[in-house]
A and B are shown apart, each in its own frame.
Chain A
Amino acid sequence: MNQFSYVRPASLKAAIDAVAKDNTARFIAGGTNLLDLMKSGVVIPEKLVDINRLPLKDIQLNGNTLHIGALALNSELAAHELVTTHHPLLSQALLAGASQQLRNMATVGGNMMQRTRCTYFYDTTMPCNKRSPNSGCGAIGGINRMHAIFGASESCIAVHPSDMCVALAALDATVLVTGPKGNRRIPFTDFHRLPGNTPQLDNNLAKGELITAVEIPANAYTKNVYYLKVRDRASYAFALVSVAAALDISNNVIRSARLAMGGVAHKPWRLYDAEKALAGKAPTEENFRHAADIALQSAKAYTHNQFKTGLSVNSIQTALLKAASV
């Protein structure tokens, strides 16, 4: 690990200034991913700007909107009554992620900012366009069992590893950021990017911008929700595929549905067409299967992740059945 300096600013403005004015500076919160990246030589910051003392930990209702401070811990958020009551899907997704020890350190903002777990990204002797643009993609012709089936490019087939983000994408959350040019709001589904020709960019944050909060609008997805995570190990493993399913069911009719997947794309992958297909339909196994088939129409698999297409269909259907049967 490189030698680096460390500052712990007391104000949001000082923190943003520290990073905006220094190309080698990085924010650090829980550090559960950044420290690994630094130890692996993937990220070599010369200055760490510790934001843990900034007042961004609050979890509260503003009117009907749930406001989640960017420094709220994953473990606190998962257990918070406002979350378990109003957005149980988010709680389920959080608890499916990482381990209790990691959730005790990891923040909401940090969770969003975590990098892919693609092995070629972490091994600095291997090609990786995300780590080292124009060096090639190791995964496309290599070991790609864990990789994307949606929205990938010839530059990169990595996936975003978060579970929390899958639920937030499904729940129409908004990201609040503050930067050198002031504040802005980014729809959660527009926060992360697809790889395209610039896989080195994971998201649409500008230099020096800092996530301050995530907001979730009021919704009817308080009961019929399910987060299904299919993984190789019962806990502490990244998803082969995961599905966040939320249904608003009334009189045996699906009024609206929200569906998103993890482990399948460079960003949390919303299944808009499948959601539309479910609206107005009865919550039946056949309708769920149909929606799942629609969702997978644009899938493209690679050498080792062919199984993800069928597994995704089965998983979407399973998650919907589970959500409907609650």
Chain B
Amino acid sequence: MKKQQTGQSMDRVDGRLKVTGGAKYFADHQLPELLYAALVCSSISNGTIKSINTTKALRAPGVQDVISHLNAPPVPGYKNSDPNAKDGLKIFKDNRIYSNGQPVAIVLANTMERAVHAASLVEVQYNQETHYTDMNANMGKAFQNNRMKDYTRGEADAWKKAPVTIDATYSLPLEVHNPMELAGIIAHWDTPDTLVLYAKTQGVKNVQDTIKRLFQIPEQNITVHSQFVGGGFGMALRVWPLEIATIVAAKKVRKPVKLVITRDQMFTLVGYRPNAVQRLSLGATADGKLTGITHEAVAVTSPYEDFTEGIVSMSKFMYACPNVTTRYKLVPLNISTPIWMRGPGEATGAFALESAIDELSYKLNIDPLELRVLNHADTDPEKDLPFSSKYLKEAYQLGAEKIGWSNRKAAPRSMQEDGMLVGYGMSSGTFGAFRGKATVSATLKADGSLILQSAAADIGPGTATAMVQIAADVTGIAPAKIKFMLGESAYPFAPQQGGSSTVSTLGSAVTDACKALQQKLAGLAISHVPAFKNAAPETIIFEDGQLLRAGQSEKISYETILQQQQLPEVNVVATSQSGEERKKYSMYSFSVHFTKVHVHPATGVVRIKHIVSVADAGTIVNAKTARSQMIGGVVGGIGMALTEEAVMDHRFGRFVNNNYADYHVPVNADTPPTDVYFINKKDPYINPMGSKGMGEIALIGFAAAVSNAVYHATGKRVRDLPITPDKVLDEKGYQQWKLENKMST
């Protein structure tokens, strides 16, 4: 047998293209007669547009048109929608302004610079109305969405009766995805009802479907290209108004139009992780058994859509607790609609739950790791099902060993080194292990090469690379002879890249397509190859790219079958999805994060010195890209823990740090040595590979591992992210403890 490809650290199949600049992202494409677009965005947060004066803008050099609700061609899909339905912002439909930064016009010019300049010349007058952007000041407007009803298992709010309790409130600020690549699109109406798009998206089929609905043209008339995506983290999981605006503009001027938005517009046009306030209440027996968990969350949404996510999900099943209550409400504000951001709501919720568990451990005087093991859920207490696979306890042990947890002294603020307070913290994370439905086309060429196609996306994890490895193992064809093609709406259906589901969903379809291809080859062999004549199909064995008959020595390679039959290629298309197994088992991935931090005693500056993250994500398909993905998630977690916060001046409803200098994503200096480990044990039920998702768990829980370590280092519990130096110090900026001799030198 050839070497197993799954599990190897294969280099990315597109790595060379990416590092040499050969990879073409949406904005890299050029079309004849292309016009460049810039958006004019609202400077008020609630009200209506009184007037738009485009005289100066239209007079500026190179300007082709300025399009707004006053002159935009109608979007046919808007017509039938219920005006009261909360179904999204209908750009250019009317003069209503819901939030600051909402696009009010799009300017087209023959260079980007001219478009941007002309956009600054468009004069918009507004009828301003009172706006509401501060969640804390508008808690009275909180309401429940039907998707997220209250949940109670056992007795409601049982924590109150417990001998040992924790009742704490945690807050998370609004975070912005901020991938390096800015959002935008190129739109070109080939004919009045044929549209070509170069998009930044996590799913070309989703784009196609949305455009089909809004512009009411047949699916086959919409071509979406998205070969490479420069980071998404969730912000490209839907078609945004900015993309509709571009398509409308291209329709009006009958020329291709390219829009790339600006960094500040990334804060208002492409979603964000909603800020949330969470109350987490725990009850436990004196020996540390949880008797009650109540998790209440309030998060923000826009006036025109109810965005919900899994903020309170983890609390329902993470620990073996008989009584669990969750409540989740939304506060509608004059801001744009949120969208899933890596780890999504589960990451928000895990910060609260895993911080509270840590707080409980100190109150009980039980090691936080031990407390988690003590309350480990052996089966899913929410669904009352066994887990398909769960090696969380192994992950705890491995992580503890690798970080040196045994060196940790139990008492807070008891460890020092190099003049720094030292803290160790840990937490766990979990996210549903999904498997969706996807279709893959597999084509074997007469030269023995294999082409796989599916309309999947790769926002960075290395999708094509993993698929090549999976296909190589099923077919026995060398990876160098396999090509996986994605990012084209013309390919068979694949869902969006989101929810840590791509390897599971697409890998299963690749497996099934490759197996179907083998069966087709077997059929050809049985019909046409003398040595295989009349063989029962089940007696044919596939090995190293060849067909064998059980118990016989004859072999024939795949390509020889094609060559003998003078076939240029053989093609199969296979669709794959989950079955009954998902009713029998609860399927989750798990992660464990350990951190060691230094806190400067005088300035409150927190620096993470060492990270150990362990993933229980089933079979690891590519150890190298998987490690990269874990590190990427951890870096996002560092941002959540220490640096990221979009700050708004509520008087104006405008963000005041809407740029890369002031919105702090972690830099290399914030990112310490990060050791990633995988349990790497196959999940027997989820899919043919036994692989569970990993993109989300890399981040989920991480922030708590940092805040728990900061507490251990300092004795100060920071429940309000991010943990900036001022929060570690007291409100006057002093250390809350007396400066100790030589500690700060």
Q: Is B734 engaged at the interface, CB distance under 8 Å to the other chain? A: yes
CB pair A307–B732 under 8 Å, yes or no, is yes
Q: Which of B613-671 contact A (CB under 8 A)?
A: 642-643, 647, 649, 651-652, 654, 656-657, 661-662, 664, 666-670
| Cα(A321)–Cα(B116), bound, Å | 51
Contact of B14 with A by CB under 8 A: no
Contact A233 B667 (CB under 8 A): yes
Q: Which residue of B lies closest to A238 (CB)?
A: B661
Contact status B649-A143, CB under 8 Å: yes
Given contacts A119-B662, A143-B647, contact A41 B731 (CB under 8 A): no
Q: Does B287 touch A at the CB level, under 8 Å?
A: no
Taking CB atoms, residues of chain B closer than 8 Å to A234 are 607, 667, 669-670
Q: Is B568 an interface residue (CB 8 A)?
A: no
Contact A123 B654, beta carbon cutoff 8 Å: yes
Among the stretches B311-319, B349-357, B721-729, the one at the interface with A is: B721-729
Query: Binary interface profile of B, 293-328, with partner A (CB < 8 Å = 1, else 0)?
Result: 000000000000000000000000000000000000
Neighbouring B residues of A311 by C-beta, 8 Å: 603-604, 725-726, 729, 733-734
Q: Is A223 an interface residue (CB 8 A)?
A: no
Q: Which of A267-326 contact B (CB under 8 A)?
A: 285, 289, 306-315, 317-318, 321-322, 325
Q: Which of B197-220 contact A (CB under 8 A)?
A: none
What is the 8 Å Cβ interface bit string for chain A, positions 87-106, against chain B (1 contact, 0 not)?
Answer: 00000000000010000000
Check if B647 sits within 8 Å of A312, measured CB to CB.
Answer: no
The reply to whether A285 and B602 contact each other, CB–CB distance below 8 Å, is no
**A317 to B738 CA separation, bound complex (whole angstroms):** 13
- Residues in A whose Cβ lies below 8 Å from that of B661: 117, 236-238
A125 vs chain B, min Cβ distance (A): 4
A311 to B667, CA, bound (A): 24
Interface string of B544-555 (1 = CB under 8 A from A): 000000000000
Q: Is the CB of A235 within 8 A of B669?
A: yes
With known contacts A235-B667, A235-B668, A310-B734, A285–B741 Cβ distance under 8 A: yes
Q: Which of A1, A125, A145, A318 makes the CB contact (< 8 A) with B654?
A: A125
A145 to B645, CA, bound (A): 13
Interface string of A123-145 (1 = CB under 8 A from B): 10110000000000010011101
Contact across chains for A306 and B117 when beta carbons are under 8 A apart: no
* Given A3-B61, A123-B654, A232-B643, A237:B744 Cβ within 8 A: no
Q: Is the CB of B664 within 8 A of A230?
A: no
Residues of B within 8 A of A322 (CB): 744-745
**Docked-complex contact A318 and B603, CB < 8 angstroms:** yes
Chain B contacts for A321, CB-based, 8 A = 744-745
**Residue A240 lies at the interface, judged by CB distance under 8 Å to chain B:** yes
A305 and B661 alpha carbons, distance in the complex (Å): 19
**Are the CB atoms of B647 and A232 closer together than 8 Å?**
no
Q: Is B43 an interface residue (CB 8 A)?
A: yes
Name which residue of chain A comes closest to B116, CB basis: A1
Chain B interface helix/strand/loop/mixed:
loop
Q: Find out whether the CB atom of A315 lies under 8 angstroms from the CB atom of B669.
A: no
**Contact assessment for A310 and B729 in the assembled complex, using a CB-CB cutoff below 8 Å:** yes
B602 surroundings in chain A (CB, below 8 A) = 314-315, 317-318
Query: Could you say which residues of chain A place their CB within 8 Å of the CB of B600?
Result: 318
| B730 interface residue (CB < 8 Å to A) | yes
CA distance A233 to B649 in the complex (A): 22
Q: Does A2 belong to the interface (CB within 8 Å)?
A: yes
Q: A308 to chain B: which residues have CB within 8 Å? A: 733
Collect the chain A residues with CB atoms within 8 Å of residue B744's CB: 314, 317-318, 321-322
Chain B 26-65 interface mask (CB, 8 Å, partner A; 1/0):
0000000000000000010000000000000000010000
**Interchain CB contact (< 8 A) of A307 among B669, B729, B739:** B729
Q: Is B221 at the interface (CB under 8 A from chain A)?
A: no
Q: How far apart are B374's CB and chain A's nearest CB, in angstroms?
A: 36
Q: Which of A1, A238, A317 contacts B739 (CB 8 A)?
A: A317
Q: Complex Cα distance A145/B739, Å?
A: 24
Closest Cβ–Cβ distance, residue A117 to chain B (whole Å): 7
Q: What is the chain A residue whose CB lies nearest that of B117?
A: A1
Query: Residues of B contacting A1 with CB < 8 Å?
Result: 113, 116-117
The tally of residues in B whose CB lies under 8 Å from a CB in A reads: 44
What's the least CB distance linking B122 to chain A, in Å?
Answer: 13
Q: Is the CB of A314 within 8 A of B735?
A: yes
Given the contacts A123-B654, A126-B654, A285-B741, A237 and B729 also touching, CB distance less than 8 Å: no
Q: Which residues of A contact B667 (CB under 8 A)?
A: 99, 233-236
| Contact in complex: A232, B664 (CB < 8 Å) | yes
Pairwise interchain contact A314-B739, C-beta atoms closer than 8 A: yes
Determine whether B605 belongs to the interface, using a CB cutoff of 8 Å to chain A: yes
Q: How far is the CA of A145 from the CA of B741 in the complex (A)?
A: 30
Tell me the smallest distance from the CB of B695 to a CB of chain A, in Å. 24
Does B8 make an interface contact (CB < 8 A)?
Answer: no
Complex CA–CA separation, A240 to B603 (angstroms): 10
Assembled-state Cα–Cα distance A33/B726 (Å): 28
Chain A residues with CB under 8 Å of B651's CB are: 141-142
- B724–A312 touching, CB < 8 Å: no
**Nearest Cβ on chain A to B742's Cβ, whole angstroms:** 8
A120–B657 Cα gap in the complex (Å)? Answer: 10
Q: Closest B-chain residue to A41, C-beta based?
A: B120
Known: A126-B652, A142-B651, A232-B724. A310 touches B732 (CB 8 A): yes
Instruction: Tell me whether A310 and B733 are in contact (CB under 8 A).
Output: yes
1/0 contact string of A211-234 vs chain B (CB within 8 Å): 000000000000000001011111
Q: Which residues of B contact A307 (CB under 8 A)?
A: 725-726, 729, 731-733
Flag if B654 contacts A314 (CB, 8 Å): no
Contacts of B43 in A (CB 8 A): 125
Of the residues A230, A231, A289, A306, contact of B731 by C-beta under 8 Å: A306
User: Across the interface, which residues of B come within 8 angstroms of A318, CB to CB?
Assistant: 600, 602-603, 744
Option from A119, A230, A238, A313 in Cβ contact (under 8 Å) with B605: A230
Measured between beta carbons, the chain B residues less than 8 angstroms from A228 are 603
Note all chain B residues with C-beta closer than 8 A to A285.
739, 741
> Least Cβ distance of B120 to chain A in Å?
6
Measured in the bound complex, the distance between the Cα atoms of B667 and A99 in whole Å is: 10
Q: Which residue of A lies closest to B603 (CB)?
A: A230
Max count, chain B CB within 10 A of own CB: residue among A233, A285, A321 = A233
Q: Which residues of B contact A230 (CB under 8 A)?
A: 603, 605, 725
B637 → chain A closest CB, angstroms: 15
Residues of A contacting B656 with CB < 8 Å? 119-120, 123, 142-143
CB distance from A290 to the nearest CB of B (A): 13
**Chain A residue nearest to B661 in the complex (CB):** A117
User: Which of A232, A240, A318 has the most C-beta atoms of chain B within 10 angstroms of its own C-beta?
Assistant: A232
Per-residue A-contact encoding for B575-607, CB less than 8 Å = 1, 0 else: 000000000000000000000000010111101
Q: Tell me, in angstroms, the Cα distance from A141 to B649 when the chains sit together.
A: 10
Contact with B along A67-105 (1 / 0, CB 8 A): 000000000000000000000000000000001000000
In the bound complex, CA of A44 to CA of B26 (Å): 31
A315 touches B732 (CB 8 A): no
Most interface-central of A1, A119, A307 (chain B CB within 10 A): A307
Q: CB-nearest residue of chain A relative to B41?
A: A125
B603 contact from A119, A309, A315, Cβ within 8 A:
A315
State how many angstroms separate the Cβ of B633 from the closest Cβ of chain A: 19
Question: Is the CB–CB distance between A240 and B647 below 8 Å?
Answer: no
Q: State whether B726 touches A233 (Cβ < 8 A).
A: no
Task: Map CB proximity to A onto B252-274 as digits: 1 under 8 Å, 0 otherwise.
Answer: 00000000000000000000000
| Nearest residue, chain B, Cβ from A138 | B649
Chain A residues in 8 Å Cβ range of B731:
306-307
9 pairs of residues in contact across A and B, judged by CB atoms under 8 Å = A3-B61, A125-B652, A145-B726, A233-B669, A306-B731, A307-B725, A307-B726, A308-B733, A313-B734
Interface of B toward A, CB cutoff 8 Å: 43, 61, 113, 116-117, 120, 600, 602-605, 607, 642-643, 647, 649, 651-652, 654, 656-657, 661-662, 664, 666-670, 722, 724-726, 729-735, 739, 741, 744-745
What 6 pairs across the A-B complex have the smallest Cβ distances? A310-B733, A307-B733, A234-B669, A311-B733, A310-B734, A307-B726
Using A123-B656, A232-B725, A322-B745 as known contacts, list a sample of 7 further A-B pairs with CB atoms less than 8 Å apart, ordered by residue number in A: A2-B117, A142-B649, A143-B649, A307-B733, A310-B732, A322-B744, A325-B745
